Amino acid sequence: MDITENAHLVTAVDLTHDGLGVCKLDDGYTVFVAGLLKGERAEIIVTERKKNYGFGQVVSLVERSPYRVTPKCVHYETCGGCGLMHMDYDVQLSFKKYRIETTLKRAGLDNVIVQDMVEMANPYHYRNKIEIKFRQGPKGIEAGFFRAKSHDLVNLTECHIMPKRLFDLIILIKNVANELGIRAFDENSGEGCLRSAVLRESGKNKSISLLLQMESGPLPKQALFVQKIIAKIPEVVSIAVTVTKDESSMSQDQIEIIQGPDTILDAIGPVDFEIGYRSFFQTNIVQTEQLYRKVAEYAALTGKEKIIDAYCGIGTIGLYLAPKAFKVFGIELVKSAIQDARKNAGRNDNKNAFFEVGEAEEVIKKWQKFKFDVLIVDPPRKGCDQRFLDSVLEMKIPKIVYVSCDPATLIRDLQILNAGGYDIKEITPVDMFPQTIHVETVTLLSLK
């Protein structure tokens, strides 16, 4: 931070998509300021100057918005994970809807109906999967999240979006590791082994799985570690370790199960799912039910439809819809997720659901000669591949239900589908990630 910079008195005239206040200095230079709400006046300093815009930080708040609330979390400013926690929850909802509307407008799709966001009744402690990082501190292991765009660890003393039991487990892991002399990996000295952990809690039966990601194995005093964890938190039904350099959710590094089964059981509505360590599963189950209910409403199935569920993960949407459809065909890139999908089809006695491993853009090409009635897509943040959309346009599937976690790529794809002959009927946003800037939507399209 450049502390020689003078303070400026500014007013936030708008919010960026990331929830930063948009301010203009006296000379017209635009500065984006974290934590400043629309209409608020503040003294700020510019902390980063680029050619056409910069970033700033509040020194003192001069006029407060009536929509400002005190963030629940002591780590709010340093962690950065809950970028909207200073905003009243109702205002978070309207901000996210506004964000979709402005993106649509910019794309020339002004006439699309955007419904009010489906809110979460209790918008805290919802995130059932958490990845935490470890670091060796002066008093033992520290655990938490990296500050945005950095490798600075925020050593968590509280967190309001993860379930309380997962937070208890983080504290327990630290205590047991300290007691047994298990250390966090230190990049400078090369000592220690623990890099990070992935914790997942089932909404159905509250069982927990724990994956420890290590720089090198084996985990010291492994048997004792397991014993001490499950003695204190018996909900931990499965523990695994992996030696990994790729800690991302797409990592394919081998996992060794050291306690319990290799999956945990969860449910969305009446449908049960076994979830493996490497499989994607929705992180907010309460809201996933709302999301899938909307998908079912938009799909409006009669029992005669042949459906594609593209980017299907472990088959969640397809299996949710299968009882009301004639046949469901899922496509997913990750092989183990498809294995889970097939297992889940069997578990729920769905004999009309079929799954294929591969890139959606490749698999759909092979299916081009068949007739389908509904296409469900739920791609990752980067949206659908152009080749996938080209195939879809050729297939002339009457109805598309598009689930998206990024309005920018959604609207890019909607423009392509709209130009190719689809009407965009309606968008319903569902608040899957309260307190954060993330926006999830379901869109209904039909062939003109």
Q: What residues are labeled active site?
A: 405
Contacts 24+ apart (CB under 8 A), 141-144: 141/173, 141/174, 141/177, 141/178, 141/182, 141/183, 141/184, 141/194, 142/174, 142/184, 143/170, 143/173, 143/174, 143/197, 144/75, 144/79
CB of 292 to ligand SAH, least distance (A): 8
Q: Print burial letters for 145-165: b (CB count within 10 Å at least 16), e (below 16).
A: bbbeeeeebbbbeebbbbbee
CB of 379 to ligand SAH, least distance (A): 6
Q: Which two tokens stand for residue 19?
A: 């929830």
The residue number whose beta carbon is nearest to ligand SAH equals: 313
Residue 90: half-sphere exposure toward Cβ, Cα within 13 Å? 2
CB of 439 to ligand SAH, least distance (A): 15
**Cα–Cα distance for residue pair 351/304, rounded to 1 Å:** 15
Q: Which residue's CB is nearer to ligand SAH, number 159 or number 432?
A: 432
Q: Which residue's CB is nearer to ligand SAH, number 119 or number 356?
A: 356
**Cα–Cα distance for residue pair 186/272, rounded to 1 Å:** 40
Q: Which residue's CB is nearer to ligand SAH, number 14 or number 246?
A: 246
Q: Which residue's CB is nearer to ligand SAH, number 380 or number 420?
A: 380
CB neighbourhood size of 143 (10 A) = 22
CB neighbourhood size of 401 (10 A) = 25
Q: Which of 443, 359, 434, 433 is nearest to 404 (CA)?
A: 443
Contacts 24+ apart (CB under 8 A), 319-322: 319/271, 319/273, 319/344, 319/345, 319/348, 319/350, 319/353, 320/268, 320/269, 320/271, 320/292, 320/295, 320/296, 321/295, 321/296, 321/376, 322/348, 322/350, 322/352, 322/353
Q: Which residue's CB is nearer to ligand SAH, number 193 or number 291?
A: 291
Q: Which residue's CB is nearer to ligand SAH, number 87 or number 360?
A: 360
Q: Which residue's CB is nearer to ligand SAH, number 197 or number 331?
A: 331
Give the strands of the sheet with 256-259, arranged side by side. 153-155, 140-146, 129-137, 194-201, 208-214, 236-243, 256-259
CB of 431 to ligand SAH, least distance (A): 16
Q: Which of 418, 380, 386, 419 is nearest to 400 (CA)?
A: 418
CB of 134 to ligand SAH, least distance (A): 26
* Chain positions contacting ligand SAH, by CB under 6 A: 280, 282, 311-313, 316-317, 331-334, 337, 359-360, 378-380
3-class secondary-structure state, position 79:
helix
Residue 168 contacts residue 194 (beta carbons within 8 Å): no
Per residue, the 3-state secondary structure of 369-382, as one string, reads CCCCCEEEECCCCC
Q: Tell me which amino acid residue 300 is.
A: A
Q: Which residue's CB is nearer to ligand SAH, number 214 or number 444?
A: 444
CB of 396 to ligand SAH, least distance (A): 21
Sign of CA dihedral 431, 433, 439, 441: negative
- Checking DSSP bridges between strand 353-357 and strand 208-214, what pairing results, if any? unpaired
CB of 285 to ligand SAH, least distance (A): 11
Q: Which residue's CB is nearer to ligand SAH, number 331 or number 445?
A: 331
CB of 214 to ligand SAH, least distance (A): 24
3-class secondary-structure state, position 394:
helix
CB of 311 to ligand SAH, least distance (A): 3
